[in-house]
Amino acid sequence: MDVFDIVELKPEHCKEVAEIEKTIFSLPWSLQSFRECVEGEDKHYFCAIENGEVIGYCGYWGVLDEAEICNVAVRADARKRGVGKALLNRLIEYGKSDKRTKFLLDVRVGNEAAISLYKKLGFKEDGIRPNFYDEPKEDALLMSLTI
């Protein structure tokens, strides 16, 4: 069985993360953005490592008692093996220890895989933000988890 570890994102992981990001998103975050996330005081990022390679990542930006989840992604060839769930469980556990009581995120309304994952973790639907995303234009579903 393949095994992966969830670890804090470090500067040396950022290049791989930015490469994965480019393969998944139409408007990818840059390498520089991820580097700034690693260095940011209230930004906490994690990645999944398997056989020495990054296979997924996620992170939040903390503001007061809230954690805004900004990135969640798993490399296409590593999906549906519990990596996304393990990453978010780690993020939530860390967030609790960091005194965050509300986790917030937005997701494209058509992103069934991600919405299903978030619901499985207890996130509730808060509402729709019309035309929030570009390339392609799409509504955002706002979701949150209160501890």
- The footprint of ligand COA (CB under 6 A) covers 24, 72-74, 79-85, 107, 111-114, 116-117, 120
CA-nearest of 61, 112, 86, 82 to 6 is 86
38 or 133, CB closer to ligand COA? 133
Q: By beta-carbon distance, which residue lies closest to ligand COA? A: 84
Between strands 124-133 and 53-63, the pairing is unpaired
46 CB-near residues (< 8 Å, 6+ apart): 6, 7, 8, 9, 57, 58, 59, 87, 90, 91, 94
As measured in angstroms, the least distance from the Cβ of 24 to ligand COA is: 5
As measured in angstroms, the least distance from the Cβ of 82 to ligand COA is: 4
14 or 72, CB closer to ligand COA? 72
